[in-house]
Amino acid sequence: MKRIPEEADEEERKPGPAAAGRAGRILVFLVAWLFALGGSQLRAATASSSVLRALPAGASGESGHYEGGARLRAHLLVDAGRATPDLVRVGVLFDLDPGWHLYWRNSGDTGLPTRVHWRVEGGEAGALRWPAPQSFSEADGLFVTFGYEGRVLLASDVTLAPEFDREHRIAVDIDLLICQRECIPARIELERSLTAALVDSPDNASLSRIFDDFEARVPVAPASLGVELESLYDRSALRPGSTFHAAIGARACTTPGECVPWRIAAEGVVFFPAATFPIRAEPAAALPTRDDPHHSLAGFEAEVSEDWEGADESAATSEPRLRGVLVLQDLSGRRAHVDVDLPLPSIDASAQVTLLGEHWLPGVHEDPAGGVAIHSSPSLLEVILLALLGGLILNLMPCVLPVLAIKVFGIAEMAGRDRSALRRSGGAYALGILISMAVLAGAVLALRAAGGQVGWGFQFQSPLFVSAISIVLVTFALNLFGVFEISFDAGGAARLGEQTTGTRRSFFEGLLAVVLATPCSAPFLGTAVGFAFAGSALTIVLIFLCIGAGLAAPFVLISWVPAWSRFVPRSGAWMLKLRSGLGFALLATVVWLLWIAGGLSGTEGMTTLLALLVAIAFGLWIYGMLQHGERTWLRTSAGIALVLLALVGLDLVRARLATATPPLPGESAEGWAAWSPGQVSAALEEGRPVLVAFSAEWCITCKLNETVVLRDSRVLAELERLNVRVLRADWTQRDETIRAELARHGRAGVPLYLVYDPSSPERPQVLPELLSIGVVVDSIRAAAPPTTRDAAS
């Protein structure tokens, strides 16, 4: 960074008549000289006027700690050494006492932006040129602000109107805030004659040099340095009030074989965002990239303003842009500043932006190959495919197996009978799935609109939902046992045989499949759901429907494609036995739900729910006996009584669950402590690798991973040998900290497994949703310090 020549510096710093006497000689035109402070109008710096006054040095109260003195001098400079007669450079030179600073056009976390407004008689002022700012850590490191200290010149070009026949005058109104351990907001008004300045000093080298020196600090277009910038985001749409991750990439080879030595600076604040609306970006940090010395990256986290309605802060364009200044550095450490003007995701995903791959994190996750993997994916299309595939695989996960079994049974029963009925059944099943997926997406959107933050499987965090779904499953199981028959229309008892496989029943099975599927996650599903939850309303609905389509696909194919029917077993007497057997599968699911209820609200809550289930089973048994009788009124009354019992019972359970005390999360038998960011950093500081398991009691995939992989003796032995700290983030009940941490890693639900290496704590490794012993062992070995690792081999 070039400095103003010391000579000029020295002269201008001297206050009072001595400097005033030299002012003519050094040809620095001084209109307002001191600015000891603008004190008395401590309103926001947009106040229309201000009283400038000097504060007596050493003024203090009885316990005063104020040292007083002038802190800022502002000079209105006119550079007469112009290239064309109609163009003049004008600028305000601010000269601050040591320790004081003023703010950039974006002041950062706090402070006030400096505002400069030119008024020219007989001319027009162009845009203000801001030299690259520096960052300040304020209030004991609580805030990062952007601004200038020492001397800074904010300059503009003025185009003079040649036909203007009177004296050209220039005035400038400046609203600013200067801070040190105290802050002084003020308005400065400076004015002078341009005509006189041009006549008095037609050409002055030292003055021109001041302008040149500061203009050399003004950021330039990246292309002028041979650099190409790109922006990458973890989502395609920004939702007001949300946070997101982004990165700015700089490519130093714009044409193959022709590279420049510029990279994003490795240290300090490397990106200065030009505004805090619509997004407020946290300070960016340089990220390592994989094997490409000509591609550098800076990652940051940002918050979208709650009151953003989608427009850009500048009226010039309807699409929001990411603007600011990026700090580059060459191999010798020399720094340069470039303007950033890149696409930003819009509110409705209409803007074209490049997405970060799953494996990227702002300091999030390092690719095993040693570097941050940057993909231009997943695109919406890829996510749709992932959602379809994830939905399809969901059919094989334990959550959906009971429903799947019932469905197979239903189709087997129908096979070879009525082809059109089979098709209707498949269609109804798909419709049931799609409608319930749409309802689920709607519920997510409604909760989000109400300010709630939810994730995949969130409904299992509600004891009431768990109770309701238990009742549905017990009812269904008793139906399979033949205790009663489900009848959806009043006169339907006569067609009982058909109803076991009827269209309405298939629809209902579709609903049940979705409800039971959500606590399971399948491979590919985490990425798709994470993408959906971070996106717009339309994205959420679309992705949910795609998952539903994947889930429904096998049965639709079986019922619609004749060739697929051969996969279906032939019907026979075995089916009646199977039917009862499947009832037990559903009851086993109820046991799991009771376990969740116990986890959410303790033994009391669980027992209350169990008692209600027994009462309902008893009621259904009675209903079953009356179902085939002659007295319709009795049957109807029994039905109504049952529904009432379920509703009243649910209300009782709700009241009971609300008062019941959930068990305290404590250290589990395996020595897994409860997760908190502090626990992670404490273990990492001790040099221990950390494995964090984000899971929930209702998450079957998590339970599967824990039982089969994490509690495997080989894994446990390796965890102990490598001294790995294992932490469990339990999302059984709603927890905003855990939800936010999941979102930080691009996820909307559990499971999520992270392995932290103490030597690069910023970039944990993300393990797949379905763990394998090999993957876990390899990842913790990679994260362990070399000494421990060597001992292993």
Partner 1 sequence: MIRCQSKPGVLATIVVVVLGCALIAEAAVALEPGDKAPGFSLPSLDGKGDVSLQSHRGKVVWLDFWASWCPPCLSSLPELEELRKQMPAGEFQIVAVNLDEDKKKALKFLARNPVGYPSGSDPQGALPDRYGLETMPTSYLIDRDGVVRVVHKGYRDGDMKKIRAEVRKWLERK
Residues that bind partner 1 (CB under 8 A): 17, 20-21, 23-24, 29-34, 36-37, 39-44, 46-49, 51-56, 60-66, 107, 110-112, 138-140, 142-143, 145, 177, 179-185, 189-193, 196-197, 200
Amino acid (one-letter) located at 136: F
- Whole-number minimum distance, CB 32 to partner 1, in Å? 6
Instruction: Sort strands 673-674 and 725-730 into parallel, antiparallel or unpaired.
Output: parallel
Q: In terms of Cα–Cα distance, which of 473, 481, 502 is closest to 576?
A: 481
Based on CB atoms, which residue is closest to partner 1, 190 or 766? 190
Tokens 């589990």 correspond to 668
Q: Compute the least distance from the CB of residue 196 to partner 1, in Å.
A: 5
**Are 389 and 357 in contact, with CB atoms under 8 Å apart?**
no
**What minimum distance in Å lies between the beta carbon of 79 and partner 1?**
15
Instruction: Tell the smallest beta-carbon distance from residue 31 to partner 1 (Å).
Output: 5
Nearer to partner 1, 41 or 565 (CB): 41
- Is the CB of 138 or the CB of 413 nearer to partner 1? 138
* Intra-chain end-to-end CA distance of the chain, in Å: 51
Q: Which is nearer to partner 1, 158 or 287 (CB)?
A: 158
Rounded Cα gap, residues 628 and 636, in angstroms: 12
**Structure-block tokens of residue 391:** 């939905």
Q: Which is nearer to partner 1, 118 or 360 (CB)?
A: 118
Task: Quickly count: other Cβ atoms within 10 Å of residue 787's Cβ.
Answer: 8
Give the start-end residues of each E strand in 63-108. Answer: 72-79, 87-96, 101-108
Minimum CB–partner distance for residue 191 and partner 1 (Å)? 6
Q: How many CA atoms lie within 13 A of 483 on its CB side?
A: 17
- The distance of closest approach from Cβ of residue 773 to partner 1 in the complex, given in angstroms and rounded to an integer, is 43
Which residues pair with residue 108 across a beta bridge?
A: 145
Is the Cβ of residue 183 or residue 218 nearer to partner 1 in the bound state?
Answer: 183
By C-alpha distance, which of 659, 693, 660 is closest to 675? Answer: 693
- Sign for the CA dihedral angle at 99, 100, 105, 108 comes to positive
The CB-of-94 to partner 1 minimum distance in angstroms stands at 16
- Shortest approach of partner 1 to residue 64 CB, angstroms? 6
Q: Which is nearer to partner 1, 182 or 418 (CB)?
A: 182
Element (DSSP H or E) covering residue 175: strand 169-179
Long-range pairs of 312-316 with CB within 8 A, sequence gap ≥ 24: 312/278, 313/275, 313/277, 313/278
* Two tokens, residue 238: 């920004």
The first and second tokens of residue 616, run together, are: 């309902």
Q: Which residues contact 771 (CB under 8 A, 6 or more apart)?
A: 705, 708, 709, 710, 753
CA neighbor of 425 nearest in space, from 367, 488, 477, 502: 502
CB of 178 to partner 1, least distance (A): 10
Cβ 71 to partner 1 shortest distance, Å:
10
Least distance from partner 1 to the Cβ atom of residue 109, Å: 8
* Cβ nearer to partner 1, comparing 148 with 262: 148
The DSSP H or E segment spanning 712 is none
Neighbours of 254 (CB within 10 A): 14
Question: Closest CB to partner 1 among 23 and 537?
Answer: 23
Six token digits for residue 43: 């309103």
Residue closer to partner 1 (CB basis): 167 or 651: 167
Residue 100 or 524 with smaller CB distance to partner 1:
100
